[in-house]
Structure 1
Amino acid sequence: MRRADRAHHAGLLRLAYLVLDDGDAPLMRARRAAAGAARARRGGHPAMRTRLVAILLTDPPAGRDRLHRLFFEPARIPPGPVRAALLRLSPHDRLAYLLRRDGLTAPEVAAELGVHIQADFRDVDRATAAVDDRTGLDEAAQRAEIEAFDPGLVRLRPPPAVPTAWRAAAAAALAAALLAVAGSVLARPGEGPGGPAVIDPRAWRATGTPTVEEWPAQGGLRRDAGLLRRAADAWRADRGQPPVGRVVLLYAGTVDGASLVVLRDSPGPGDMPSVAQYFERRLSRGVESVRRLGTAEGQLIMLGMTWRYLVPPWLRDVRAAVPSGRSPEWAPVAVRDGLSDPLPWSWFTRRCQNYMVFQMAFRPAVGGTPQTVTQLASNDPRSAAPRVRFRDPPDRRERFRWAALHAVACEAATTLSESGDLRLGRLWSGELPDGGGRATLLTVDASSPGAAPGTSMLISDDGRALSERGGTNSGTTATAGALAAALWWRSPRRWHLVAAAGPGVARLKAVGELGSHETKADRPGGPPLLVVPGPRVGTPPRTARLPVVQVVSYERDGGRTVVSPP
């Protein structure tokens, strides 16, 4: 299934589930409704949504999913304020509210519903106001909770209350079935069961640069041999992402009523380990996520959908901030035996890719000096959690760093869910032409995917994007001082080519359809800046494309590199 189709189907399933939700998991009916709506592919998401509305309003309730309700229920995720408010509305009002939050206006929602039921815009406004009043959240926060809800997370339901004899017989049959499945899935031919290895808890204190290789086991269940063996065997049996090399324990404990085991593998030198998370709930167990780390350095690891993080013992004084703010409002995060307290779900905003900024203090046990570690982490255990390093001047350092983090998380300077560790740098700050105001040329380099070029962007002092992402050669130069970047910036009157370089570059030269232009560093050892006026805004369409230009950076050691803006 294409990514767009999966996204459409996930949205349809969420909408159907929230409309049908009566507290008893109508997952099968919601899936049937979403599958029927997905057949209306011509017209894209609007057509699918219209078809889903018709199914929800015209299909009579059926008992076909009673067997599913007997055995399955949603994972026990406490409902957020929006879902709790929806449970108090009628299905018709839920549908009106959800369509409104899906981007339709009140008259458009009334038109969608009016084909099947009697409804007008006042009904839509009333349903929306009811949720607003009961949650006290703004529209963006309500949408964030809706989009974070995943009805596909299900687990086995505890057996219902029945007479003892029937209950014993049913339990025996179910246990036999589960054992048969476990025997066929969790064990490989010729591979005996075995628990994970455990790292010496003193190992990380013997080095000034501890990594995941020295991460000791933590958690109150780290001595539960049966639990650890089941977790390791379940990961070994995973057909999609099995471990490579020996399996090592990072954490085992009780989290929100579930037994959780976090494991890593050992792929060997030159390759990054993967981390698996195994959960055991009542009558339900299995590996729920596997993620390959972007680096072997110790880092925060998001745990399931618990809003908690696993923290290595050498990182202390954890604090977090929402990257959408104009300045960091740090909140301390308590960590006990390697496990953090949960963060409020409302902190994770879709606009900022559902990422938070974390800062920790690293105090090496052997040599070295204390340092601050910055990391971005999301609410999705499968997404990357990049550590961030900075190339910045000593003046205005903290202000630049927060603006850069805001640009990365909230202004699309890079895609965080797929990136490795990040290096953010400032090439130039100053006034843009045509009254464009003060700007900073930000460079963004990610350690993965391999050989991917860096990007660059003009940002304001508070991290707002002033240009689209541009191209930079920072991924291929040998030293930070030889960085160079070039991009297009549009003022109200015309386009401008803006190029800047690090102190290792003596001069910049632009050649191509704009003619030849050259600039040298404005002072000895200072970075050069080149700004070339381009075509006027509003040029006739046949000549509206941007000129073809190449920027040559001449390095002080005699080398040169070509940067081509997109």
Structure 2
Amino acid sequence: MQSQDVAPRPAPPATDPVVDVEQAEAALVEHYPHLVRLAYLVLPPGLGRSRRVLTAHSLTQRALPRSRTATPVIPAQSAGREGDPGYALVRLRVVRTALEACLPLKRRAWPRRSQLPPLLPQVWGLKLFPRSGGAAELALDQRLSALSAAGRAAYVLRGLERLPDGDVRQVLRAAGAPDADAALREADEVDAPYALLGSPEFDPCSLQARPTDLMRRRQRTRAALVAGAALVVCGTLLGLPDGGWGPDGAAAPPYAENPAARAALDPGRLTKAAPGAWRTSARTDFSVWPARGDLTGDKRLLRRALAVWARPGGTVRVAATPGTPAGGPSGPPQLLYAGTVDGARVVILYDGLRVARYAEPEDGTAGAALDLARTDGAGRAEAGAVVLGRADGNVRYLTAPWVTGAAERDLTRPGSGAMDLTLTDGVTAPLAGPAERSGGCTSWNVLQLTDGSTTRLLSDLGELVPARLTTGRPGAAKEASGAAALRTWAPYACSLGAVRGQGVRSVNAWEFATQPLPGDGSAAWVCTRAETWRGGGARVMAQFRPPGAKLAAVVAKAEDVPACGRRDPHVLAGVLWKSEGGRWYLVAAGSRDTESVRATGGISASAEGNLLTAKAEQGARADLKGTLDDGRTISGLR
């Protein structure tokens, strides 16, 4: 992410201005929602959304100085705050205390005030949290959580405050950040539009309210009045029927539950498929996976996993693919896995509609996580693997019982071969996940699974179930594992990054045309279509690769359209292309059943067949129309 260009400003005064308390208060009151959003974004997401909201308000309210204070000459930069030293002062104090709140507690030192839970404001009986955003906001929050506190502050000061890097560096140094340059480098790695920072997802002043657990509040009141009743309540909460379940860990306290909901939380009622059920079953999906792992008999762990799925607590990190229903299972789910993976205890459950992954550290339940993925309608091809865990850029999978071999392959290098992965009771050795670095995409690692005579490729797109990769005309697509299919995918592998976190079920690459270019060989046209588990929301991209180019360029894209899919296996796209001789052309191509192509608007041209090449001026724009063999008209993909 590059720093923003800003208009030049007059040189600052030689001495730092002194700000009166009244001036600082006026700036704080006027820009309070903006300052709270700034604090909320800098605070670590691990605090939990409710505590993060209250802490952001507390830090902002404490930013008011007690007396006249000098402030460094760092312009406010954002519209409406330019040149206001009062705003610059309170913003600096907000950033400083937010960075302090991110510091770990030390054994031999007293904690700073900003490191403690806020005394004020407090809301009794309610949990407050911002409204939920979309997948893009969730992905940005996850990327920011991986940065240091100073890195988050650098990104937010750039995007929310519109400060150039020089001013960001000044603010960070004045706020006590140890290495402002390193923080800016971290911020460079976040590839997301700054406009997302203005989303309701990150607005701690526009909140939703939910009650804290009513049953627990009632029990605490009784405990304060009658000490004996407290012992009874604790015994009821910590020791449930059938003995040995233990407490619910990171789950929220229980609400009133009907008998079916209570049965769904009983680890003794979990269903398990027989080890060889998949060999004779008419279905080959997650329902015939046997239970695997070294902790399938740990009822305490299974109880915690079920309880967190039903009612995740405020500290649980919850992620779900778009369109995945929330809430716990309606009845006892099926156990697929329970075991130790890379320093964590992991449980995989399946309820016929969703796969759920619960993970907690080996030394406790703090930092527990719950991932949900919709998998209804999965067949043998889509139910080949589930992500067990990600650590240090590597991914480890649990594979289907019918998988006989696993390997790691770089999709951008079709001739490099595959590296075999060890399978231990269906669990793969760790393989490097697909990585997009600031220097560009140079590789894209995928999982290759062998099932008897069939080989499939699956790509991790940041979700619980990897996406299946195919090639060919829609309606006749095949697995992307053969030599020709691998060559087709290689130039387009990096475009998979554009559909991360979208609940993608499969992605098909279809080379729909090859087009001769004036004096420069031939270009390839490929349409990639990402189908989702929820049915709607498919992402379609038309990509153009001129001769000699290693990677293709996305020239058109659309969402939730039938083009390039089974229902409408047609596509038309165009792009302005510059030849080696310096001439500009409009080149356009449709699928092979396109009878003619016509361009209107800034460029007027037509051609018989599915290819159009016309001279053009740089920056010209045109509308494309195509006529199919059956007389139907299609528009160019945008």
1:297-354 CA deviation, whole Å, 9 max, x = no partner?
Answer: 3133223544422221222432234567797574443332222333457956576699
- What is residue 149 of structure 1 aligned with on the other side? none
Aligned partners of 2:45 and 2:253: how far apart in 1? 36
Note the C-alpha offset of 1:274: 0.8
Note the C-alpha offset of 1:198: 0.7
- What is residue 94 of structure 2 aligned with on the other side? 55
CA contact (8 A) 1:247 1:263 kept: yes
- What is residue 385 of structure 2 aligned with on the other side? 300
Correspondence for 1:468 among 550, 555, 577: 555
- What is residue 199 of structure 1 aligned with on the other side? 273
With 439-448 and 252-261 compared, the bigger mean Cα shift is at 252-261
CA contact (8 A) 2:461 2:467 kept: no
Aligned partners of 1:247 and 1:400: how far apart in 2? 40
- What is residue 179 of structure 1 aligned with on the other side? 238
- Tell me whether 1:564 sits opposite 2:621 in the alignment: no
- What is residue 504 of structure 2 aligned with on the other side? 419
CA contact (8 A) 1:319 1:332 kept: yes
1:21-59 CA deviation, whole Å, 9 max, x = no partner?
Answer: xxxx9x979983698579999669x99999765434478
- What is residue 439 of structure 1 aligned with on the other side? 523
- The residue identity in structure 1 corresponding to 2:632 is R
Note the C-alpha offset of 1:390: 0.7
Distance 1:511 1:347, change over 3 A: closer
Correspondence for 2:607 among 518, 529, 535: 518
- What is residue 335 of structure 1 aligned with on the other side? 423
Structure 2 portions without partners, runs of 5+:
1-33, 64-75, 101-110, 119-144, 192-230, 240-246, 313-324
Q: How does 1:72-471 map to 2 (within 5 A)?
A: 95=150, 99=154, 107-113=166-172, 128=182, 143=189, 179=238, 182=248, 184-185=253-254, 188-191=257-260, 192-193=262-263, 194=266, 195-206=269-280, 210-237=284-311, 240-244=326-330, 246-266=332-352, 273-281=353-361, 282-284=363-365, 288-293=370-375, 296=378, 297-306=382-391, 307-321=395-409, 330-343=418-431, 347=435, 349=437, 356-363=445-452, 370-381=453-464, 385-391=466-472, 397-409=485-497, 412=498, 414=499, 417-433=502-518, 435=520, 438-448=522-532, 450-451=535-536, 452=538, 454-459=540-545, 464-470=551-557
Aligned partners of 1:240 and 1:100: how far apart in 2? 32
Distance 1:85 1:100, change over 3 A: closer
- Tell me whether 1:32 sits opposite 2:55 in the alignment: yes
Identity %: 20
CA contact (8 A) 1:473 1:563 kept: no
Distance 1:29 1:444, change over 3 A: closer
3-state SS of paired residue (2:295): coil
Aligned partners of 1:465 and 1:35: how far apart in 2? 49
3-state SS of paired residue (1:404): helix
Note the C-alpha offset of 1:376: 1.0
Note the C-alpha offset of 1:445: 1.8
CA contact (8 A) 2:628 2:634 kept: yes
3-state SS of paired residue (1:263): strand
- What is residue 12 of structure 1 aligned with on the other side? 42
Aligned partners of 2:397 and 2:35: how far apart in 1? 31
Aligned partners of 1:141 and 1:346: how far apart in 2? 20
- The residue identity in structure 1 corresponding to 2:170 is A
3-state SS of paired residue (1:530): strand
What is the aligned-residue RMSD (CA, Å)?
Answer: 5.4
CA contact (8 A) 1:34 1:52 kept: no
Note the C-alpha offset of 1:474: 3.4
Note the C-alpha offset of 1:380: 4.6
TM-score by length of 1: 0.63
- What is residue 611 of structure 2 aligned with on the other side? 529
CA contact (8 A) 2:413 2:490 kept: no
- The residue identity in structure 2 corresponding to 1:548 is D
Aligned partners of 1:426 and 1:226: how far apart in 2? 52
Aligned partners of 1:50 and 1:497: how far apart in 2? 55
CA contact (8 A) 2:293 2:339 kept: yes
CA contact (8 A) 1:385 1:417 kept: no
Note the C-alpha offset of 1:456: 1.3
With 218-227 and 105-114 compared, the bigger mean Cα shift is at 105-114
Structure 1 portions without partners, runs of 5+:
18-24, 69-82, 87-93, 133-138, 146-171, 267-272, 364-369, 521-527, 539-543
